[in-house]
Amino acid sequence: MLYDILIIGGGIAGMTSALYAKRNNKNVLIIEKEAFGGQIASSPKVENFPTIQSISGLELSDRIFTQITEYGVDFELDTVVSLKKENDIFTVITVYGEYQSKTVVIASGVEHKTLRIPGEEDLVGKGISYCAVCDGPFYKGEEVVLVGDGNTALQYALLLSEYCSKVKVCTLFDRFFGDESHVTALMKKDNVEVIQNVATVAFEKDNSGLTGVVFENRIDKSRFTIATKALFVAIGQIPDNDIYSSLADLDKYGYILSDENCTTKTEGLFVAGDCRVKAVRQLTTAAADGAVAALNACNYILKHVDLWK
């Protein structure tokens, strides 16, 4: 079967692409390697999605998935291993199969770098978060801990300092690796404490979730615990776009280069969501990208209809 639009990734960007494509009467396939919903599915509470005052990330993902499958979107749980284009047709090769399409939308997202400490995964949504924009407001007036030393960590710390009573920023080395303007602004905050040369080594918890974070001083190897209900981890993100590098240009971090139309250097290949180079990576911007990519894919098919006759 030759699909009109094949979407790689079943997060918010990918599912929104599928929704818009199907409403334009296109036959659509989504290939997702793990679980539909992407990163937002692990969030216990979402309060920044328009029209919905409060919802769990899992329920939001389930609602969108139900919506697109009721429209008739096909889906496969599989892992994409390669992508090629020959004679104006894209071939997507997966672990278990091979699919062909007139256009492709890459919406593969990113993975947050984790601390790789036992118990970390179990505490996600129960005190550990990788997004201060998403989850910071839930800890208004409380003391929180942030781990990281780059621009994202600095920006998160500044944001958290606006509504948290205390923000303890823990860095692995003795300096920050971000913009000096962010560092200067952070140092002016009375409710921010910077703790340098420490490594996160363990977590403390009870039945409700995180209760403390254990650190080790890299110089003298002493250990100490910071009591907190919230740990924000901001040590980077990992895109997984290498397999698309022959058809799409990547920046030095591995994100796909595109314009605001979500196009790539290859005609018929589009990109949406966190996997592309962009300034803001949020739920709403992922959905916006999904709509833009799908509509432009539909326009591409309309303009080049004679290619597949």
**Is 27 in the same domain as 79?**
yes
| Whether the predicted pLDDT of 12 surpasses 80 | yes
**Is 176 in the same domain as 272?**
no
Residue 162: count other Cβ atoms within 10 Å of its Cβ. 12
pLDDT of residue 71: 94
**Run of H or E including 76:** strand 74-77
pLDDT of residue 139: 95
Helix axes of 57-71 and 12-23: crossing angle, nearest 10 degrees: 30
Residue 224: count other Cβ atoms within 10 Å of its Cβ. 12
Distance CA 274, CA 265 (A): 18
| Whether the predicted pLDDT of 115 surpasses 80 | yes
pLDDT in tens, 243-299: 999 999 999 999 999 999 999 999 999 999 999 999 888 899 999 999 999 999 999
Distance CA 7, CA 138 (A): 33
Beta pairing class for 231-233 and 143-147:
parallel
Residue at token pair 């916006």: 288
Q: Which two tokens stand for residue 189?
A: 């905050």
| Mean local confidence (pLDDT), 99-110 | 96
3-state SS assignment for residue 96: coil
End-of-domain residue from the set 175, 205, 233: 233
Number of domains forming the structure of the chain: 2
Q: Percent of the chain beyond pLDDT 90?
A: 80
End-of-domain residue from the set 190, 209, 233: 233
Fill in the amino acid letter for 244. Answer: Y
Q: Which two tokens stand for residue 301?
A: 């098919």
**Is 42 in the same domain as 100?**
yes
**Is 203 in the same domain as 145?**
yes
Residue at token pair 């692990």: 42
pLDDT in tens, 133-156: 888 999 999 999 999 998 889 989
**Is 75 in the same domain as 127?**
no
pLDDT in tens, 153-183: 998 999 999 999 999 999 999 999 988 988 9
pTM score, two decimals? 0.79
**Is 126 in the same domain as 224?**
yes
Sign, CA torsion 85/88/94/98: negative
N-terminal to C-terminal alpha carbon distance within the chain:
14
Fill in the amino acid letter for 265. Answer: K
**Is 229 in the same domain as 253?**
no
| Mean local confidence (pLDDT), 52-73 | 92
**Is 203 in the same domain as 136?**
yes
At residue 288's C-alpha, the angle toward residues 46 and 137, to 5°, is 25
**Is 147 in the same domain as 214?**
yes
**Is 227 in the same domain as 242?**
no
Cross-strand partners of 129: 232
The CATH number linked to 70 is: 3.50.50.60
Tell me the residue range of the domain where 66 lies. 2-112+237-308
Q: In whole angstroms, what separates CA 151 from the centre of its chain?
A: 17
Residue at token pair 């710390």: 157
Q: Which two tokens stand for residue 178?
A: 């971000």
End-of-domain residue from the set 233, 257, 285: 233
**Is 185 in the same domain as 273?**
no
**Is 8 in the same domain as 64?**
yes
